[in-house]
Structure 1
């Protein structure tokens, strides 16, 4: 059955080339994940704030190695794209930024991120999110990027605002965290913002 409007991005838009390395221009690099990142990711997921705001826990480095293998393969499937956020000079892991729920035909994806405890308060998440957004809009041609976070997570709200995402509303009782159901803020950027 044909669609009444054309596809925003055709299949193969991402997977036809290798996943890029994206320098932010201000001391960070977004790079594809490597197997040797597993210990640093496992350590990051021992942080109580990661536990508070994320629905996933990491019990072992072996488990994290499996995640990284999935993240590496995700590019080919074009349903998500995951980057390690590292210091440009030292390659020390500072966090993660991703496009999830990619819908190429609609030019839509959700941005997600986390940072290590040592990286917090340095603008890492907002800088990485802004760089990923520029690439997604300017280089790839996405039309809309969404970003959700628990309304109680004020730091994440600041990240969204600093990265140019407009608050559009609240999704009530939308995500189950370890302490119960959370309302979620929905932020978005669209092409041309």
Structure 2
């Protein structure tokens, strides 16, 4: 039995459909659709995405099964997964809020960007939009993200979006070339965010 009230009441998230979020620069974050299976499956054949992600959809059918799981995550208030698109059309990347703990008001963020969209601020703008939604409208208190200490691009995304570096988790994750130390970043509700996003 909990002795403190939940940060977010159960049913708050699942009571409505997963939202479509806007981000600067014409980005639209929308739930994944089955028609996205081709680009989603292809994304995991990109060497950089494959390197940082050890779980890959084996086929377009497998990608659609992942999308079905994403819809269950929303219904069960465990996670929210979006396609990062340009004006709702062409997919540029992925962003998610996972490991939702409504009682404690904490969750974790994750993202990747397709090669053609890298270096244009897509990940930072998408993360800023998702963070504002999660910490504002939904009411989470703390968001985290982690990345390999050998992934400076992801570290830059975190820093630009106000996720402070809290420390290093030694040998915490496996990537395609073995175990990596991981930087842990966090942003707390009410933390200031840079105007550069």
TM-score (norm 1): 0.96
CA shift at 1:15, angstroms?
0.2
Tell me if structure 1 keeps the 8 A contact 2:24–2:125.
no
Match of 1:37 in 2: 36
1:175 aligns with 2:173: yes
Runs (4+) off by over 4 Å: none
CA deviation map 1:156-186 (0-9, x unaligned)? 0011011110000000010111211111000
Tell me if structure 2 keeps the 8 A contact 1:46–1:58.
no
CA shift at 1:189, angstroms?
0.3
1:84 aligns with 2:83: yes
Match of 2:14 in 1: 15
1:96 aligns with 2:94: yes
CA deviation map 1:11-59 (0-9, x unaligned)? 1111011100001142101111100000011111110000111121233
CA RMSD of aligned residues (A): 1.0
Match of 1:28 in 2: 27
TM-score (norm 2): 0.94
After superposition, residues 51-90 of structure 1 pair within 5 angstroms as: 51-88=50-87
Tell me if structure 2 keeps the 8 A contact 1:170–1:184.
yes
Tell me if structure 2 keeps the 8 A contact 1:79–1:102.
yes
